[in-house]
């Protein structure tokens, strides 16, 4: 409507002389406000208020004494404006300045005219809010609409039926703009519990000092609800630095939803391979070997590795055992035997293979009935650990027998061959070098013909 009014008409507006104005008072009551000399400043602004443009000053200024040219406000506070604008004060929760009998609408609006849209006294919407609020002061990362100064895409500056003057149902607020996130939550099978409800549990809606408006950086953000993981990640003897570093958890987890269980970014093994497809130099004394190399071109993958189940043996977040192992396992070639030291292997394999000296069926690693597992492993002093014969992740030999053992700086080949009833090693690697379950090898006889090996693996 305001557009339809010839702005030039405003120069004909009635003259209202109020005390304190350096304008000459009109001399006779007959004189109207419609002169070009007075109050013309209102019409020079880009936006002129409807009644002002019409020269209707009286709807707000009630003449007190026209002779004296004195006036009083027609109504007080917000009521002055409500007379024509009912919508702004019709909502359940009113913004404090509108509920305030004294201040009212003119806290933000100029009643006559303004160079700013919506007759705002301040240049932008945000400027006008910032007159009273410090909501976004000193924030390093501002939310898109906040950075654009658009407080009113979310808030109704006047009042709302929702709390916090929100313009939209708070449950739909974020999704009204973030369709991608909404689609992920709808389509992906595994949705993170808090993402179903409160987005503001993790994001500060206006901005924050952390990227992505996060209330805190991961992992601290995540620890606030996952204390058990914090305990494991921060207080275990062996840590996985990619868990505890800044941003940590997000190396492997998505914060909202995923197609993989546990909110993982990829299937478990694939996930590990994003880093363990190469060797990782931790410091000058420590390199974590490439896992990819260990399984590359291998004919036999150890059961859980073939199942891509690293969790069967490793606890990713942290561990009391070396190499982030889930359970106890000796870290050396030799270790005095105790059953508990092999908890890891015996969580899936029967411990009975190393508990008795003689057996006809507990293990195939027998010479006759002599249990060679028992003989090698179950020793008070230099018991051989499983790794001296078995490769943990993968091997090209049956029964996951290693292809070689470290011998100083050299890898000494074992050359294990399995036979129908036993097996043998290449001469030179081992004393003695064969076993047979049906026709036991007589070690007393064969001993003299073997080369004495003093590798870590040998006697
Ligand atoms: C929509 C209500 C409204 C209308 C219409 C209106 N005024 Fe005002 N006017 C006010 C209010 C409210 C104030 C008090 C100013 C303040 O508190 O900022 C005011 C104050 C004034 C003042 C005092 C100086 C100032 O600018 O603060 C003058 C002069 C004035 N108005 C002139 C006029 C004239 C002339 C018209 C008609 C062309 C007019 N007003 C129409 C609401 C109105
Ligand atoms: C006498 C009736 C009347 C009174 C009283 C009145 N207004 Fe208005 N107001 C109008 C009209 C007419 C329009 C133009 C409507 C339109 O453009 O849709 C308008 C428009 C506005 C707009 C919109 C400007 C825009 O750019 O869209 C604002 C803001 C506004 N008024 C604020 C106020 C405030 C603040 C008061 C009290 C100080 C007030 N009005 C009192 C009649 C009034
Ligand atoms: C806290 C500041 C503030 C106060 C107080 C305020 N307004 Fe507004 N008003 C705004 C802002 C900001 C806009 C622009 C809304 C937008 O960006 O969509 C606006 C817009 C308007 C409009 C344009 C149409 C609309 O509703 O968006 C009218 C009319 C209006 N206000 C009237 C009033 C009246 C009447 C009062 C007092 C009852 C009042 N305002 C009090 C900030 C305020
Ligand atoms: C004239 C001062 C003033 C201006 C300007 C102002 N506010 Fe307020 N606002 C207040 C006061 C006072 C309160 C109530 C006290 C508080 O919660 O801090 C309040 C409360 C709020 C609330 C909380 C309401 C609730 O339900 O708890 C929101 C949201 C808000 N203002 C948004 C805005 C926005 C958006 C703007 C700009 C369009 C704005 N304010 C401009 C004074 C102002
Ligand atoms: C993307 C939507 C959005 C935008 C844009 C937005 N807010 Fe808010 N605001 C909210 C929500 C949601 C709340 C409810 C509080 C919460 O859950 O953290 C809120 C609460 C508030 C509050 C009351 C609580 C508090 O934090 O003090 C004020 C004041 C406020 N906003 C001011 C502003 C101002 C000023 C701007 C513009 C600079 C703005 N808001 C922009 C969504 C928004
Ligand atoms: C009015 C539209 C709108 C609403 C409502 C809205 N956002 Fe945004 N949001 C944006 C825009 C625009 C960006 C900036 C996009 C960009 O930078 O790519 C953004 C960016 C973000 C970002 C990423 C910030 C970054 O640094 O990249 C997060 C997180 C976010 N919003 C969360 C929320 C949450 C939580 C809510 C609900 C409380 C919400 N948004 C509501 C429009 C909105
Ligand atoms: C458990 C904490 C948490 C909750 C709850 C949460 N977010 Fe996030 N959000 C994050 C983190 C962490 C990031 C940063 C992701 C990154 O850097 O990879 C993020 C990023 C975003 C982004 C930026 C784009 C993207 O997807 O990376 C948007 C937009 C976003 N969140 C919106 C939302 C919305 C909407 C909700 C509510 C449905 C929500 N978030 C709930 C933690 C959360
Ligand atoms: C506001 C609390 C809260 C925050 C913050 C939070 N979570 Fe959660 N999270 C939960 C709840 C509740 C569950 C579901 C119950 C459970 O499994 O403990 C859950 C479950 C999970 C799950 C298991 C999902 C499944 O399918 O079993 C993962 C993984 C997870 N959160 C990772 C994270 C990460 C990463 C962060 C930080 C970016 C984080 N959480 C931040 C509350 C939170
Ligand atoms: C290197 C990858 C990786 C990182 C980094 C990581 N996680 Fe996990 N997380 C996993 C894997 C793999 C699982 C699945 C374990 C399972 O199925 O037993 C998991 C499972 C979880 C679970 C659900 C099962 C449980 O153990 O309670 C939660 C909760 C969880 N992670 C939270 C976190 C938090 C919090 C962080 C950051 C402190 C984090 N994760 C960092 C890989 C990771
Ligand atoms: C984002 C990269 C990254 C991902 C993903 C990752 N790791 Fe690691 N991992 C490392 C780094 C770097 C090290 C070197 C030691 C350290 O910094 O903690 C390491 C070390 C290890 C170690 C050796 C620890 C030691 O003390 O010798 C094991 C075992 C391990 N990771 C297993 C896994 C498993 C299992 C997964 C998949 C669930 C996985 N990692 C995913 C980066 C990663
Ligand atoms: C059957 C148990 C088991 C399974 C399953 C398993 N690991 Fe291991 N892993 C170990 C053991 C034991 C070690 C320690 C190496 C040794 O024996 O000295 C280890 C060591 C590692 C190391 C450290 C290598 C180094 O040079 O320090 C990485 C990396 C690793 N594993 C990754 C994985 C990944 C990825 C998976 C899943 C695909 C996986 N592991 C599955 C038992 C297992
Ligand atoms: C999470 C369960 C699991 C753990 C822990 C585990 N294994 Fe296995 N292992 C299997 C499965 C399943 C097979 C059978 C599939 C195959 O041949 O790889 C297997 C097979 C074997 C075989 C070959 C048996 C055959 O019949 O060919 C050897 C040797 C072996 N494991 C040694 C070990 C050692 C040594 C450890 C401890 C470092 C260990 N395993 C820990 C699950 C496990
Ligand atoms: C001195 C070498 C050596 C050591 C040490 C050793 N193994 Fe074996 N293991 C073998 C040989 C050789 C076979 C193959 C037997 C056959 O099939 O002929 C075997 C077979 C197995 C099998 C397949 C089932 C069976 O018993 O025949 C499992 C499981 C196994 N070993 C687990 C272990 C575990 C667990 C440890 C550590 C506690 C371990 N081994 C230590 C040499 C060894």
Ligand nearest to the CA of 162: 4
Q: What is the predicted pLDDT for the residue at 198?
A: 84
d(CA 87, CA 81): 11
95 ligand 3 Cβ < 6 A: yes
CA angle in degrees (0–180, nearest 5) for 60-102-112? 35
269 ligand 11 Cβ < 6 A: yes
Q: Whose CA is nearest to atom 13 of ligand 4?
A: 96
Q: Is 244 exposed, middle or buried, given 0-12, 13-18 or 19+ CB atoms closer than 10 A?
A: middle
Whole-Å CA distances, 211 to 14, 67, 162, 173, 319:
56, 65, 28, 21, 30
Question: Dihedral (C-alpha) 92, 93, 96, 100: value to the nearest 10 degrees?
Answer: 20
Whole-Å CA distances, 435 to 184, 298, 420, 425:
59, 25, 11, 9
Ligand nearest to the CA of 227: 9
Q: What is the predicted pLDDT for the residue at 250?
A: 96
Contact yes or no for 262/192 (Cβ under 8 A)? no
Whole-Å CA distances, 21 to 15, 16, 39, 70:
12, 10, 10, 12
Q: Tell me how crowded residue 113 is: count the other CB atoms within 10 A of its CB.
A: 19
Q: What is the predicted pLDDT for the residue at 15?
A: 32
Q: What is the predicted pLDDT for the residue at 446?
A: 57
341 ligand 11 Cβ < 6 A: no
Ligand nearest to the CA of 114: 2
Listed as ranges, residues in the chain with pLDDT below 50 are: 1-31, 34, 448-459
Kindly give the distance from the C-alpha atom of residue 144 to the centroid of ligand 5, in angstroms, as a whole number. Answer: 13
Q: Which atom of ligand 6 is nearest to the CA of 202?
A: 35
Instruction: Give how far the C-alpha of residue 51 lies from the chain's centroid of Cα atoms, to the nearest Å.
Output: 53
Q: Whose CA is nearest to atom 22 of ligand 1?
A: 18
Q: What is the CA radius of gyration of the chain?
A: 41
Kindly give the distance from the C-alpha atom of residue 332 to the centroid of ligand 11, in angstroms, as a whole number. Answer: 14
Contact yes or no for 380/341 (Cβ under 8 A)? no
Q: Which atom of ligand 9 is nearest to the CA of 242?
A: 5
Q: Is 24 exposed, middle or buried, given 0-12, 13-18 or 19+ CB atoms closer than 10 A?
A: exposed
Instruction: Print burial letters for 310-320: b (CB count within 10 Å at least 16), e (below 16).
Output: beebbbbbbbe
Q: Which atom of ligand 5 is nearest to the CA of 126?
A: 38
Kindly give the distance from the C-alpha atom of residue 62 to the centroid of ligand 2, in angstroms, as a whole number. Answer: 18
Instruction: Print burial letters for 344-353: b (CB count within 10 Å at least 16), e (below 16).
Output: bbbeeeeeeb
Q: Tell me how crowded residue 248 is: count the other CB atoms within 10 A of its CB.
A: 21
Contact yes or no for 226/237 (Cβ under 8 A)? no
Pocket of ligand 4 (CB under 6 A): 93, 95-97, 107-108, 125, 128-129, 131-133, 151-152, 155, 157, 163-165
Short-list 54, 74, 46, CA closest to 5: 54
């Amino acid at each position: 409507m305001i557009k339809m009014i010839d702005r030039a008409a405003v120069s004909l507006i009635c003259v209202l002389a109020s005390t304190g104005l350096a304008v000459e008072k009109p001399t006779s009551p007959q004189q109207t406000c419609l002169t070009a000399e007075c109050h013309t400043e209102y019409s020079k602004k880009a936006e002129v208020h409807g009644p002002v443009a019409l020269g209707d000053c009286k709807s707000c200024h009630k003449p007190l004494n026209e002779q004296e040219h004195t006036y009083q406000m027609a109504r007080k506070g917000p009521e002055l404006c409500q007379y024509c604008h009912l919508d702004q004060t019709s909502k359940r929760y009113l913004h404090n300045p509108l509920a305030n009998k004294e201040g009212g609408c003119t806290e933000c609006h100029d009643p006559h005219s303004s160079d700013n849209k919506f007759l705002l006294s301040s240049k932008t919407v945000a400027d006008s809010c910032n007159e009273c609020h410090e909501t976004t002061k000193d924030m390093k990362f501002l939310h898109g609409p906040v950075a654009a100064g658009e407080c009113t895409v979310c808030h109704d500056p006047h009042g709302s039926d929702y709390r916090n003057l929100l313009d939209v149902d708070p449950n739909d607020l974020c999704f009204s703009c973030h369709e991608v996130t909404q689609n992920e939550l709808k389509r992906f099978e595994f949705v993170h519990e808090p993402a179903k409800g409160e987005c503001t549990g993790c994001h500060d809606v206006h901005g924050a000092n952390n990227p992505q408006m996060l209330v805190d950086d991961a992992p601290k953000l995540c620890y606030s609800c996952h204390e058990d993981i914090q305990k494991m990640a921060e207080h275990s003897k062996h840590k996985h630095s990619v868990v505890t570093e800044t941003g940590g958890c997000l190396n492997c987890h998505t914060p909202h939803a995923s197609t993989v269980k546990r909110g993982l970014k990829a299937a478990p093994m694939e996930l590990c391979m994003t880093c363990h497809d190469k060797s990782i130099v931790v410091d000058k004394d420590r390199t974590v070997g490439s896992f990819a190399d260990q399984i590359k071109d291998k004919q036999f993958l150890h059961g859980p590795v073939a199942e891509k189940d690293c969790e069967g043996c490793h606890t990713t977040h942290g561990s009391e055992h070396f190499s982030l192992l889930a359970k106890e396992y000796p870290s050396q070639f030799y270790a005095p035997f105790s059953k508990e030291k092999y908890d890891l292997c015996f969580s899936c394999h029967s411990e009975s293979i190393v508990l008795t000296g003689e057996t006809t069926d507990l293990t195939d690693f027998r010479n006759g009935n002599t249990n060679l597992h028992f003989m090698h492993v179950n020793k008070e002093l230099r018991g051989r650990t499983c790794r001296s014969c078995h490769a943990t992740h993968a091997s090209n030999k049956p029964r996951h027998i290693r292809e070689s053992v470290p011998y100083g700086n050299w890898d000494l080949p074992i050359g294990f061959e399995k036979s129908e009833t036993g097996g043998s090693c290449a001469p030179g690697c081992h004393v003695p070098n064969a076993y047979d379950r049906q026709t036991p090898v007589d070690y007393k006889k064969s001993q003299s013909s073997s080369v004495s090996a003093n590798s870590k693996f040998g006697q």
